[in-house]
């Protein structure tokens, strides 16, 4: 079993693991010849199934195993994120699977170069004193010569999962969505949902009901570019409505049944209902989600991808987060499965 | 009767803040030893594995310094112990601010009132602020004997020195929650020094994934200002102590020097500038049967000289040393001392101005706004109304459109018109609901 790669895009990788870490501490990482999959299946809350093309984060990538060159690992995300953060200013970073004392681990080797005189940019009296007998030192400082190369090794303990362990893990199946819509900037969405949740919790101390029931957000969208987020408690009812959002067209080649399938698609029917100003009561597909869990999902916004939300009325909300990439091919997608509470 | 008066510039006062912050990582109480020529803060941790002595020079560190101990003549000393927290709440952060913003001071005057005629002995600190405001703090202290750890640099043949900013940079790579730091000097031509932070605990099964990160930072020995360590030597100290030292040394922007002989023998870190000399003596562990100790008095180890010529250090320093008996009890007895003087003005043992411990080591980035909100922590900040009108109904009568103005509800508890204090607070509605039309 061999896995070795150099990390091409440390920033993206760090943001990815940080986002995933907010949903759960452990990730199932599946390394194969053509893609890298990160899956978080928390005991409760939202699942994430991320499929990345190799070159989104890695280059010079090798993976070999007896099981068809696929390696399945269970990785603690907090440690991995911490390790990756130390590579943010690195000149190069490598990751490989290795074993120490019979414990498998992912070893990151990070090379950083910093100017040796970086601390002498504002020389202090004491720094000058130290240099009095160092003949070369003043030249070093003056010409910026010499740099410190430091090699940092971070070892993240992991667990290797056998093929039979992961065989039972399947991506959730869902019916065709009623409404699909491109979400507004996630930072905006997050700050509003955080606000709502906070307000609901502030009231929770005095009122009745469990907090879980109180932080329930209702998220709804129609096929006319509207998104509505609302929260209702005994004491209040607030909602925010976005309009003029985009409902992407479905590609007939991607829909089961082609043109006919498209004509019978639930979203085609939903297009007949509702209005673009969001005032009509008709045409909304809505889900009830937990505000805290939603806050964790929104953490993915740091990756800056385009997000399409698919609403299955009263059933589930699926977010597809497309990571920005240069060449436009082999898109990397993070899929979030948020299930709807029944009431 | 002791005379101890000194004055600090804002810069010096903020250095006192920095050093207290560092000593706070070792012990709850700092011991103070004042002599006519110097003033020393010392701290010994509870496991007695780390001892810190930070010495302020009477002439260079202070603008004015006067110390006449009650006995012992010129070699006499005044010693006491004060809670680190109490001192930190006086020597707050940002005492020095060239722009004179909030919290900055003009100077700091300290004196000790220890007169037999007075019942109270206090450590008095006056912060003279820019707007003519004088804040006076009177701290209780406990008279203790101050101990010093003995460290003989002649025996410590292994030594290195490096700029603190580089050391701090290395420390930042370490994962959180690790316990040990192994300082290793490599062998061979292209030798490197390795700082490895790890945790000894070995766990199995699922627990393995909770094992803290193991971080090894390999540094070219040529990046040290001086590096003269026996190749192949491992020496192990606590990573927490090392972090505290590296962070404090970095506030002085100076070189950090290390002196040690072999595992299980003490190691000393030393640095300082501008009249402040810091020495930390730490207990080490490691395999002392390793190659290093085969020559128990190590012959001068291979000298690896860096750009800066290392000058032969011929300093012979040894401290007087009664065996380290401990001010560990100091913290508890300090507390009892405080209880005995309930009337004294104690600075609230408020949270020291210590920043979030993580923030020292973890990159603070704009990424944070993406983190899920911690709703539990900031509940207190939330300004909210209690719209439920349920549980306080008896205290604040609700009014209703019955004409009785809710007196019915207070009558029971108020017990009649005479002490109807509660009902006078009732604000009558200006209008009856029945008079309002078309609103609902």
Q: What is the mean pLDDT of residues B418-423?
A: 43
Q: How far apart are the CA of A181 and the nearest CA of chain B, in angstroms? A: 22
Residue B122 placed within a domain: yes
Q: Which residue has the higher pLDDT, B81 or A140?
A: B81
The answer to whether residue A143 sits within a structural domain is no
d(CA B215, CA B195): 8
Q: A256 vs chain B: nearest CA distance in angstroms?
A: 36
Per-residue pLDDT at A279: 85
Q: Are residues A209 and A99 in the same domain?
A: no
Please judge whether A203 and B388 are an interchain contact, meaning their C-beta atoms are less than 8 angstroms apart.
yes
Instruction: Answer yes or no: do B107 and B19 share one domain.
Output: yes
Q: What are phi and psi of B248, to 5 degrees?
A: -70, -40
A202: nearest CB among B214, B218, B384:
B384
List the single best residue of B57, B171, B175, B221 to mutate versus A (max A Cβ within 10 A). Answer: B175
Tokens 């025996």 correspond to: B155
On whether residue A32 sits in a domain, the answer given is yes
Count the domains in chain A: 2
The CATH number assigned to the domain holding A32 equals 3.70.10.10
Spatial distance between the Cα atoms of B355 and B275, rounded to a whole number of angstroms: 26
Same domain flag for B141 and B170 = no
Same domain, A195 and A50: no
Flag whether B358 is in a domain: no
Q: Say if B373 falls within a structural domain.
A: no
**Angstroms from A214 CA to nearest CA on chain B:** 13
Are residues B425 and B334 both part of a single domain?
Answer: no
Q: Are residues A22 and A94 in the same domain?
A: yes
User: Which residues in A lie closer than 8 A to residue B208 (C-beta atoms)?
Assistant: 103, 157, 159
Taking the C-alpha atoms of residue B165 and residue A305, their distance in angstroms, rounded to an integer, is 37
Residue of B124, B132, B127, B136 whose CA lies nearest to B8: B127
The total of structural domains in chain B comes to 3
Give the C-alpha separation, B200 to B239, whole Å.
Answer: 12
- Residue-wise DSSP of B69-109: -SSSGGG--EEEEEEHHHHHHHS-TT---TT--TT-EEEEE
CB contact under 8 A, B370 and A292: no
Q: What is the number of CB-based contacts under 8 A between chain A and chain B?
A: 161
Are A271 and A333 found together in one domain?
yes
Among the partner residues B213, B252, B311, nearest to A155 by beta-carbon distance: B213
Per-residue confidence (pLDDT) for residue A199, from 0 to 100:
85
Q: Does residue A149 contact residue A193 with C-beta atoms inside 8 Å?
A: no
B173 and B127 assigned to the same domain: no
Contact A86 B173 (CB under 8 A): yes
* pLDDT tens by residue, A244-282: 999 998 887 777 777 888 888 888 888 888 888 888 888
The answer to whether residue B253 neighbours chain A at the CB level (below 8 Å) is yes
**Same domain as A155, residue A216:** no
Inter-chain touch B165–A118, beta carbons under 8 Å? yes
Averaged pLDDT for residues B247-275: 93
Q: Rounded to an integer, what distance in angstroms lies between the CA atom of residue B27 and that of residue B19?
A: 12
In a domain, residue A122? The reply is: no
Q: Is residue B210 in some structural domain?
A: yes
The C-alpha of A25 sits at a distance from chain B's nearest C-alpha, in angstroms, of: 10
**Contact criterion met (CB < 8 Å) for A157 and B209:** yes
Quote the pLDDT of residue B323.
42
A71 and A17 within one domain: yes
Ramachandran class of A277: left when φ > 0, alpha when ψ lies in -120 to 50, beta otherwise: alpha
Confirm or reject contact between B417 and chain A (CB < 8 A): no
CB contact B275 to A (< 8 Å): no
pLDDT for B96? 82
Do A16 and A103 reside in the same domain of the chain? Answer: yes
Do B10 and B137 sit in the same domain of this protein?
yes
Q: How far is B66 from chain A (nearest CA, A)?
A: 26
Most confident of A47-56, B91-100, B335-344: A47-56
Both B266 and B348 in a single domain?
no
Helix (H, G, I), strand (E, B) or coil at A246: coil
**Candidate from A101, A154, A236 with C-beta closest to B215:** A154
**Which pLDDT belongs to residue B170?**
92
Hey, which residues 71-110 in chain A have their CB within 8 Å of chain B?
A: 74-76, 79, 82-83, 85-86, 88, 101, 103, 105
Same domain for B178 and B254 = yes
pLDDT value, residue A245? 94
Query: What confidence category does residue B364 fall into, taking pLDDT thresholds of 50, 70 and 90?
Result: very low
Evaluate whether residue A42 is within a structural domain.
yes
Which pLDDT tens digit goes with each residue over A298-311?
999 999 889 999 99
Band of pLDDT at residue A96, cut at 50, 70 and 90: very high
Q: Which residue has the higher pLDDT, A303 or B322?
A: A303
A27 contacts in B (CB within 8 Å)? none
Which of chain A's residues have a Cβ under 8 Å away from the Cβ of B372?
22, 292, 295-296, 298-299
Are B15 and B122 within one domain?
A: yes
Residue A245 lies in a domain: yes
The pLDDT > 90 percentage for chain A reads 55
Least Cα distance to A220 among A297, A294, A310, A285 occurs for: A285
Of residues A311, A313, A301, the one with CA closest to residue A337: A311
SS3 A112: strand
B269: CATH: 3.70.10.10
Q: Is residue B304 domain-resident?
A: no
pLDDT exceeds cutoff 70 at B233: yes
Task: Specify whether B38 is located in the same domain as B65.
Answer: yes
Check B370 against A235: CB less than 8 A apart: no
The highest-confidence range among A290-294, B143-147, B355-359, B405-409, by mean pLDDT, is A290-294
Given CB atoms, is B277 within the 8 Å cutoff of chain A? no
Query: Residue B143's pLDDT is what?
Result: 85
pLDDT for B292 beyond 80? no
Q: Both A186 and A249 in a single domain?
A: yes
Residues A37 and A156 in one domain: yes
Q: Which domain holds residue B235?
A: 158-294
Q: How far apart are CA B409 and CA B402, in angstroms?
A: 13
Highest mean pLDDT among A122-126, B32-36, B415-419: B32-36
Per the CB < 8 Å rule, is A134 touching B309? Answer: yes
Question: Do both B60 and B162 map to the same domain?
Answer: no
A158 and A186 inside one domain = no
What 3-state DSSP class applies to B235? Answer: strand
| Residue among B211, B216, B307 minimizing CB distance to A140 | B307
| Residue B43 clears pLDDT 90, i.e. is over it | yes
Q: Which residue, among A283, A290, A281, has the nearest Cα to A341 in the 3D structure?
A: A290
* A300 neighbourhood in chain B, CB within 8 Å: 370
Q: Where are the beta strands (DSSP E) in chain A?
A: 2-7, 26-31, 35-40, 47-53, 58-64, 71-76, 92-100, 103-115, 147-157, 159-161, 179-182, 216-221, 227-232, 237-242, 285-290, 306-312, 316-322, 333-339
Whether residue A118 lies within 8 A of chain B, CB to CB, comes out as: yes
Any domain includes B371: no
Which residue of B255, B307, B369 is in closest CB contact with A136? Answer: B307
Task: Compute how many other C-beta atoms are within 10 angstroms of the C-beta atom of residue A284.
Answer: 22
Question: Looking at the domain assignment, is residue A17 inside a domain?
Answer: yes
The three-class DSSP label of residue B156 is: coil
**Does B362 reach chain A within 8 Å, measured CB to CB?**
yes
Q: Is residue A69 part of a domain?
A: yes
Q: Is B232 helix (H, G, I), strand (E, B) or coil?
A: coil
CB contact under 8 A, B166 and A148: yes
Give the span between the Cα atoms of A315 and A43, in whole angstroms. 19
- Alpha-carbon torsion B196, B201, B202, B207, what sign? negative
Please, are residues B242 and B22 in contact by the beta-carbon 8 Å criterion? no
Regarding whether B420 and B334 lie in a shared domain, the answer is no
A146 touches chain B (CB under 8 A): yes
B203 found inside a domain:
yes
One domain for residues A7 and A154: yes
- Give the domain range for residue A216: 179-339
Q: How do residues A97-127 score in pLDDT, each as one tens digit? A: 999 888 899 999 999 987 655 444 444 444 4
Q: With contacts defined as CB-CB under 8 Å, which chain A residues touch B273?
A: 124-126, 129
Whether residue B40 is found in the same domain as residue B106: yes
In this predicted structure, what is the pLDDT of residue B396?
Answer: 40
Q: Touching check for A201 and chain B: CB below 8 Å?
A: yes
A144–chain B Cβ distance below 8 A for any pair? no
Quick check: is A128 in a domain? no
- Which among A167, A201, A234 is the end of a domain? A167
Copy the structure tokens of residue A251.
């590609």
| CB neighbour list of residue B281: distance below 8 Å, 6 or more residues apart | B50, B51, B52, B53, B149, B151, B266, B267, B268
Domain-embedded: residue B38: yes
Residues A161 and A190 in one domain: no
Closest to A150 in 3D by CA, of B172, B421, B200, B139? B172
pLDDT at position B81 over 60: yes
Q: Indicate the SS3 state at residue A126.
A: helix
Confidence of residue B321 (pLDDT cuts 50, 70, 90): very low
């Amino acid at each position: 079993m061999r896995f070795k790669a150099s990390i091409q895009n440390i920033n993206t990788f760090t943001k990815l693991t940080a986002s995933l870490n907010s949903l759960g501490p452990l990730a199932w990482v599946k390394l194969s010849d053509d893609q890298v999959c990160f899956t978080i299946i928390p005991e409760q809350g939202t699942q994430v199934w991320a499929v990345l093309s190799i070159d989104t984060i890695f280059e010079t990538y090798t993976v070999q195993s007896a099981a068809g060159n696929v390696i399945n690992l269970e990785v603690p995300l907090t440690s991995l994120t911490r390790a990756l953060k130390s590579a943010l200013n690195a000149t190069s970073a490598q990751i490989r699977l290795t074993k120490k004392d019979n414990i498998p681990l992912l070893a990151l080797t990070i090379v950083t170069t910093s100017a040796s005189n970086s601390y002498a940019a504002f020389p202090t009296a004491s720094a000058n004193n130290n240099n009095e007998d160092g003949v070369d030192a003043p030249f070093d400082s003056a010409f910026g010569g010499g740099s410190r190369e430091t090699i940092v090794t971070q070892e993240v303990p992991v667990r290797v999962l056998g093929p039979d362990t992961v065989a039972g893990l399947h991506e959730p199946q869902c019916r065709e969505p009623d409404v699909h819509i491109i979400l507004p900037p996630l930072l905006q969405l997050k700050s509003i949902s955080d606000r709502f949740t906070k307000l609901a919790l502030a009231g929770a101390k005095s009122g009745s009901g469990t907090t879980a029931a109180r932080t329930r957000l209702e998220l709804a969208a129609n096929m006319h570019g509207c998104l509505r987020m609302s929260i209702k408690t005994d004491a209040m009812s607030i909602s925010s409505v976005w309009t003029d959002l985009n409902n992407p067209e479905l590609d007939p080649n991607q829909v089961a049944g082609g043109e006919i399938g498209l004509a019978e698609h639930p979203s085609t029917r939903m297009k007949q209902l509702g209005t673009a100003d969001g005032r009509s009561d008709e045409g909304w597909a809505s889900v009830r989600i937990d505000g805290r869990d939603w806050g964790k999902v929104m953490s993915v916004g740091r990756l800056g991808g385009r997000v399409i939300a698919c609403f299955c009325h009263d059933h589930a909300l699926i977010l597809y987060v497309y990571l920005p990439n240069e060449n436009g091919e082999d898109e990397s997608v993070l899929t979030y499965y948020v299930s709807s509470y029944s009431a | 009767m002791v005379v101890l008066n000194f004055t600090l510039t804002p810069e010096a006062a903020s250095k006192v803040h920095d050093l207290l912050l560092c000593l706070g990582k070792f012990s709850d109480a700092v011991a103070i030893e004042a002599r006519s020529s110097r003033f020393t803060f010392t701290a010994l941790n509870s496991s007695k594995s780390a001892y810190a002595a930070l010495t302020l020079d009477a002439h260079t560190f202070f603008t004015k310094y006067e110390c006449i101990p009650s006995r012992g003549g010129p070699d006499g000393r005044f010693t006491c112990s004060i809670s680190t927290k109490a001192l930190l709440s006086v020597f707050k952060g940002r005492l020095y601010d060239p722009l004179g913003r909030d919290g900055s001071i003009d100077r700091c005057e300290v004196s000790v009132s220890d007169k037999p005629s007075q019942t109270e002995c206090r450590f008095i600190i006056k912060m003279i602020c820019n707007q003519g405001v004088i804040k006076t703090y009177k701290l209780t202290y406990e008279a203790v004997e101050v101990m010093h750890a003995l460290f003989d640099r002649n025996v410590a043949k292994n030594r290195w020195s490096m700029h603190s900013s580089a050391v701090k940079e290395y420390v930042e790579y370490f994962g959180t929650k690790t316990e040990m730091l192994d300082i290793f000097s490599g062998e061979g031509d292209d030798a490197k020094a390795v700082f490895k932070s790890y945790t000894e605990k070995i766990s199995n099964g699922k627990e393995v994934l909770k094992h803290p990160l193991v971080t090894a930072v390999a540094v070219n020995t040529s990046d040290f200002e001086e590096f003269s360590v026996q190749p192949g030597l491992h020496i192990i100290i606590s990573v927490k102590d090392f972090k505290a030292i590296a962070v404090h040394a970095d506030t002085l922007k100076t070189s950090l020097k290390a002196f040690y002989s072999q595992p299980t023998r003490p190691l000393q870190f030393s640095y300082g500038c501008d009249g402040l000399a810091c020495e930390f003596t730490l207990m080490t562990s490691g395999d002392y049967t390793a190659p290093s100790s085969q020559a128990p008095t190590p012959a001068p180890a291979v000298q690896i000289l860096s750009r800066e010529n290392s000058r032969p250090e011929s300093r012979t320093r040894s401290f007087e040393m009664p065996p380290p008996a401990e001010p560990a009890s100091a913290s508890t007895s300090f507390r009892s001392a405080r209880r005995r003087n309930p009337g004294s003005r104690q600075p609230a043992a408020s949270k020291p101005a210590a920043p979030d411990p993580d923030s020292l080591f973890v990159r603070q980035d704009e990424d944070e706004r993406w983190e899920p909100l911690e709703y539990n922590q900031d509940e207190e900040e939330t300004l909210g109304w209690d719209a439920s009108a349920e549980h306080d109904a008896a205290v604040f009568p609700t009014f209703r459109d019955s004409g009785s103005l809710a007196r019915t509800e207070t009558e029971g508890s108020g017990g009649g018109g005479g002490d109807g204090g509660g009902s006078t607070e009732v604000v009558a509605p200006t209008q009856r609901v029945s008079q309002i039309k078309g609103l609902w």
